[in-house]
Amino acid sequence: MNNIILAWRNLWRNRRRTLITSASVFFAVLFALFMRSLQLGSYDHMYKNVIESYTGYIQVQQKDFWEDKIVDNSFPYDLQLDQKILEDENVVATIPRFESFALASNGPQTKGVLVMGVDPEKEKNLSKVRDRMVKYRLTPEAIDRIKQDPGIPAKVKELTELFENSAYTNASRLQLDLGITDKDAPDIMPAVERHSHFENGAIQLGEPGVWVGDKLSEYLQLGIGDTIVLISQGYHASTAAGKYEIKGIVKLPLPDIDNKIVYLPLDICQGLFNAENNLTSLALAVNDNEDKAILETMNRIKSLLSPELRLMEWREMNEVMVSQMDADNKSGMIMIGILYLVIAFGVFGTVLMLTAERKREFGVLVAIGMQKKKLASIMTIEMLLIGFLGIISGSLIASAIILYGVDHPLVFKGEFAKMFEEYGMEPMMAFTGIDTYFIWQVVIVAMMVFLAIGYPVRKIFGMKVVNALKA
Amino acid sequence: MIWKTAWKNVWRNKVRSLVVIISVTIGIFGGVFAVAIMNGAIAQRVDAALNQEISHIHINDKAFRDNYDIQLTIPDGEQILKEIEEMPGVSAVAPRIQITGMASTATKSAGVEIIGIDPEREKKVLNLYDTTIPGTGDFFESESSSLTAYIGQELAKELNIIRYIVDEDVLAALTGKEVPGEVLNKLTPFVGIRFKNEKAFKKALKGSLTLKEQRNFGKSIRDAAWSFRSRSKMTLTFLDKTQMQTGAVFRIAGIYDVRNSMFEMSQVFVKNEDLIPLTGMAPGEFHQLVVRIDDLEATEEITAALKDKLPDLEVMDWKEIQPDLAMMTDMVQRFYAFFMVIILAALAFGIVNTMLMVVLERTKELGMLTAIGMNKKRVFSMIMLESVFLSLVGGVLGMIISQVLIGITARNGINFSNYQEGLEALGYTSHIYPAISMPFFITVTVLIILTGILSSIYPALKALKLDPAEALRTD
């Protein structure tokens, strides 16, 4: 206890030095935590987007479907199996799907599209495609109406032109694009929402009709009520062709999919491909999506499946994205590594000076009878205190920023946002909450301090008292 | 005089100065090298886009890019082509037909852009022909009685045109590549099996090799077992000018590899003369002109001239065609600056601390200097210079080391093959040649000097506050 008190007092003998050294540690911890939180948060967000709007965490598929995504590699929808899977403790719902590739056309315009046969009711448990329906759109008519509304400020009116024809699934993005502050929102937003309101119809099992992605509808120049023609190859090489009325427009947060997705009711889709009652995948919605829980769930369900079927995990289904995130993650870690190396030298330099400066003091202490061991332990405690001062203050400030950031992700606007979309990413960066990565940063900084302590400790033990007194 | 004193002061406490210098060296080296890798990747991306994918300027109907309507050809195309060809600064022009369609084989199909080209002219605007994978054919050079198409590696994989076969030759090739016998033994059960595509082969490998073996040898094994049957064929289907479905069987002329999955997946090249009879278009009709110019710097000037000349057509330079390319460069440059500033800020803490120590240690000496008449300005600049020297020595060392390492690695490049799939999906190659421009070094040097100056201000002010009489008395 005495040692700690002595160390603490020593710290404040040279307040400035203590503070500067702590500040460098503080800076490293703050920056590293901030960056990690943004990086990890963005990955989580992207994984969540793709998993929740497309693949799901686990899928049951015919054993060759993933390698060879053809309609022939579909499997019969077995309700008994479905029931058995639903009995698993971690499975919330099963979502049957039939997906394939087709050529979509509207007279002169054609485009390869991803046709997804879904059960709209069951999709609620996973992709929530209904939440992705376009609710507002700044059509030229909507912009006209907004411009004629005297209650809307001129700045907002100007901005509408920049976003002509943009579609929105929620009001907050619309508000952001139009530069309306939260304070003004209650006065302005209701009118803007009313003017730009976009009406969608539903699709239902048994009723022909489709929902198409926003980007796709733009490309094909098709709107609600128009007809889209789908041509493809059906089950056992039969021809698949059909025309359907567009009932609604969806906007998915994955631009790569948004520009090619066509949702059909499951049974209509099976009919189109002449594969009645077959599925290409049965996605599972789960309660607990931690890696361990997913693995356990997969192991339990595996035993229920016939050898013709197999389970796919989200990582396998999104290999490319996982590899991209991994590359980005590694580059972020290298940057933090460089930063830490620099800070480590800074800390070491301080320790070096501190030792040289106090050589005489050490000599005196040992000469009047202080054990070298005790002196060394005081030094160690001193250094640890400096380190922890930096670590604790750094993590506190970082936590405050991160906790705020979790609820307020960075959302990009304008040109910058467009570039993100070109790369198939949603124009935003999310923070991840306080998690194990916090501990890692703290451990690394603590190790740095420990390494630096080696120098003064060695100096103390190798000290010749007479020489030290003369210093 | 002050310069000399400051320089000598740096070396009075060698260990302490070296610690600071080394930390600056490491920080600058790490920062510059990381920037060089990113910079290299972007430069390669831009290079690939300009030389293999889009060239410099595109000319087409104003509404053509909205949805690639087959009706929207360039009126009097041939005439315009000739006129542009003769413009100063233009090195080549190539006509293109572009149609959206579907490519399919017996079992698979995919949406593609069918691009009709004149191979001889096309070779002058883009060197895509140079990326043909050896053994898969060529860029429409050999005579063929059938219709032929030049397709990307990713599409070939998707359509099961590329298969994976392990045979004795493959095993022999792998032995040459130092794949251990143990792994080869595990591969023998696959001899004679024809894997339809990469995924199926990967799955089989996954079943029999350990994770480590897959990581170390997976790629070499896949490259060796890669197999292409010459004269494979596929069907291209699309709507003709009368909106009737049409199509034909095309044999594969060659397979290209530009290390950009999206491009490889979607761009199918065929000869104009093969495509025109299917489309109902008249001979000599086309949708787009691709222009290559002599000097990249003159892009804006020539684009403007073309816009004046062709007011009824859309003229776009590469920056307008792929705005993300220009923006990416811009954004990354900003990111570099931010990254370097963060590193320098971290370094500044160390420098401030050291300089502070210097001032406190030399209290008596500084007092003496002031007492014998050294003015405050000189004291201040002496300390500031010492700090600048400290950081500059480390900075220059760091830059020299990074330049040397960049030189070494730029010769053969660095291969991030573990991330190949992910990077190529974004259009970036995984084999990166680090590169840095001289102006960047100048910027860094200025930043280092600034850091030195800024971090000396506080310690130097401390020194100025010393009362000479008081300072002389300290011991």
Would you call A346 and B160 a contact, using CB atoms and an 8 Å cutoff?
no
Band of the pLDDT at A422, cuts 50, 70, 90? low
pLDDT tens-digit series, residues B410-422: 888 888 877 777 7
pLDDT, tens only, A6-60: 888 888 887 877 887 788 788 778 878 888 888 888 888 878 877 877 788 899 9
| Closest-CA residue to A214 (of A153, A161, A257, A274) | A257
- Answer positive or negative: Cα dihedral of B266, B272, B278, B281: positive
Size of interface A-B (CB pairs under 8 A): 185
Q: Which residue of A has its CA nearest to B13?
A: A353
| Facing B199 at nearest CB: one of A66, A321, A345 | A66
**Best mutation target, A256, A311, A338, to test chain B (most B CBs within 10 A):** A338
* Interface residue of B98, B349, B424, B431 to substitute, partner A, most A CBs within 10 Å: B349
What was the pLDDT predicted at A464?
82
Instruction: Kindly state the helix (H) or strand (E) to which residue A429 belongs, with its residue range.
Output: strand A428-429
Q: Do B111 and A113 touch (CB under 8 A)?
A: yes
Contact B350 A346 (CB under 8 A): yes
B324 with A324: Cβ contact below 8 A: no
Give the pair of three-digit tokens for residue A388.
């922890």
| Selected residue of B279, B353, B421, B428 to mutate for chain A interface (largest A Cβ count, 10 A) | B353
Give the residue from chain A lying closest to B197, CA to CA: A67
Q: Best mutation site among A15, A312, A345, A355 for testing chain B: the one with the most B CBs within 10 Å? A: A345
pLDDT category, A460, cuts 50, 70, 90?
confident
Residue B305 pLDDT more than 80? yes
Instruction: Identify residue A6 by its one-letter amino acid code.
Output: L
- For the cut 80, the answer to whether the pLDDT of residue B453 exceeds it is yes
**pLDDT value of residue B396:** 94
Query: What DSSP line would sit under B177-188, residue for residue?
Result: TT--HHHHHHHG
List, in sequence order, the alpha helices (H) in A178-240. Answer: 185-196, 214-220
Average pLDDT over residues B293-304: 90
Q: Would you say residue B455 has pLDDT above 70?
A: yes
Q: Which residues of A touch B360 (CB under 8 A)?
A: 357
Give B-chain residues touching A353 at CB under 8 angstroms.
16, 353-354, 357
State pLDDT tens for residues A193-205: 888 888 888 888 8
**CA-CA-CA-CA dihedral for B82, B88, B90, B94, to nearest 10:** 0
Chain A residues in contact with B15 (beta carbon < 8 A)? 352
Mean pLDDT of B381-405: 92
Asked if A41 and A429 count as a contact pair (C-beta separation under 8 A), the reply is yes
Phi, psi torsion values for A195, nearest 5 degrees? -70, -35
Would you call B16 and A16 a contact, using CB atoms and an 8 Å cutoff?
no
Handedness of CA B56, B61, B63, B65 (dihedral sign): negative
Q: How many CB atoms lie within 10 A of CB B465?
A: 9
Residue in A254, A341, A353, A423 to test binding to B, most B beta-carbons within 10 Å: A353
Q: Do B239 and A108 touch (CB under 8 A)?
A: yes
Cα distances from B99 to residues A441, B42, B169, B268, B447, in angstroms, run: 54, 30, 41, 10, 52
For residue B324, the chain A residues in CB contact (below 8 A) are 418-419, 422-423
User: Which pLDDT score, from 0 to 100, does residue A245 have?
Assistant: 93
CA B437 → CA A339, A421, B39, B429, distances in Å? 23, 29, 9, 20
Is the pLDDT reported for residue A415 higher than 70? Answer: no
Q: Do A346 and B23 touch (CB under 8 A)?
A: yes
Q: How far B346 CA sits from the closest chain A CA (Å)?
A: 6
CB contact under 8 A, A110 and B16: no
C-beta atoms of A319 and B347 within 8 A: no
Q: Point out the residue among B350, B361, B426 whose CB comes nearest to the CB of A345.
A: B350
HEC string for B368-412? HHHHCCCCHHHHHHHHHHHHHHHHHHHHHHHHHHHHHHHHHHHHH
**Tens-digit pLDDT profile for residues A353-366:** 778 778 888 888 88
Are A197 and A135 a contacting pair, CB within 8 Å? yes
The alpha-carbon gap from A184 to the nearest alpha carbon of chain B, in Å, equals: 32
d(CA A170, CA A189): 12
A342, B323: Cβ pair inside 8 Å? no
**B115 pLDDT higher than 70:** yes
Q: What is the pLDDT of residues B249-297, one digit of tens each?
A: 999 999 999 888 889 999 999 999 999 999 988 888 999 999 999 988 8
- Pick among A31, A64, A65, A67 to test the B interface (most B CBs inside 10 A): A67
pLDDT digits (tens, 9 = 90+) for A144-173: 888 888 888 888 888 888 777 778 887 877
Per-residue pLDDT averaged across A252-272, rounded? 88
- Are the C-beta atoms of residues A285 and A121 closer than 8 Å to each other? no
Cβ proximity of A125 and A91 under 8 Å: no
Q: Are strands A428-429 and A91-106 parallel, antiparallel or unpaired?
A: unpaired
A85, A60 Cβ separation under 8 angstroms = yes
Residue in A323, A350, A422 closest to B422 by CB: A323
Convert the pLDDT of each residue in A389-411 to its tens digit: 888 898 899 999 888 888 888 77
Q: Residue A414: pLDDT above 70?
A: no
CB contact under 8 A, A338 and B34: yes
> In chain A, what are the helix, strand and coil shares in percent, each to the nearest 5?
60, 20, 25
Residue of B nearest to A216 (CA): B67
CB pair distance less than 8 Å for A338 and B31: yes
Which residues of chain B neighbour A22 with C-beta distances below 8 Å?
none
C-beta atoms of B30 and A338 within 8 A: yes
What are the chain B neighbours of A231 within 8 Å (beta carbons)?
245
Which residue, among B15, B102, B347, B391, would best test binding to A if mutated, counting the most A CBs under 10 Å from its CB? Answer: B102
Q: Return phi, psi of residue B423, to 5°.
A: -70, -40
Q: Per-residue pLDDT for B178 more than 80?
A: no
Residue B361 identity (one-letter amino acid)? E
Helix/strand/coil for A122: helix
Closest Cα of chain A to B378: distance in Å?
Answer: 25
Which chain A residue lies closest to B34 (C-alpha atoms)? A335
Q: Record the tokens describing residue A391, joined without a space.
A: 């670590």
Measured between beta carbons, the chain A residues lying within 8 angstroms of B354 are 349, 353
The single residue listed with the structure tokens 């039939």 is A98
DSSP 3-state assignment of B106? coil
Q: What's the CA gap between A181 and A159, in Å, rounded?
A: 14
Domain parsing of chain A, residue ranges: 2-49+321-470, 57-317
- Report CB contact under 8 Å: B68, A109: yes
Q: Which residue in chain B is spatially nearest to A421 when comparing CA positions?
A: B324
Contact criterion met (CB < 8 Å) for B27 and A341: yes
Residue pair A90/A296 in contact (Cβ under 8 Å)? The answer is yes
Q: Do B426 and A107 touch (CB under 8 A)?
A: no
Q: What percent of chain B has pLDDT over 70?
A: 99
Cβ neighbours, 10 Å, residue A40: 19
Q: For residue B214, which residues of chain A lie inside 8 Å, CB to CB?
A: none
Instruction: Judge whether A210 and A263 are in contact, CB under 8 Å.
Output: yes
Chain B residue numbers with beta carbons less than 8 Å from the beta carbon of A351 are: none
Chain A CA closest to residue B104: A233
Instruction: Give the list of residues 6+ apart from residue B318 with CB closer than 8 angstroms, or none.
Output: B49, B50, B54, B55, B56, B57, B299, B325
Nearest CA in chain A to B343: A339
Q: Which residues pair with B39 in a beta bridge?
A: none
Q: Is the ipTM of this complex over 0.90?
A: no
Instruction: Tell which residue, A284, A288, A233, A242, has the closest CA to residue A70.
Output: A233
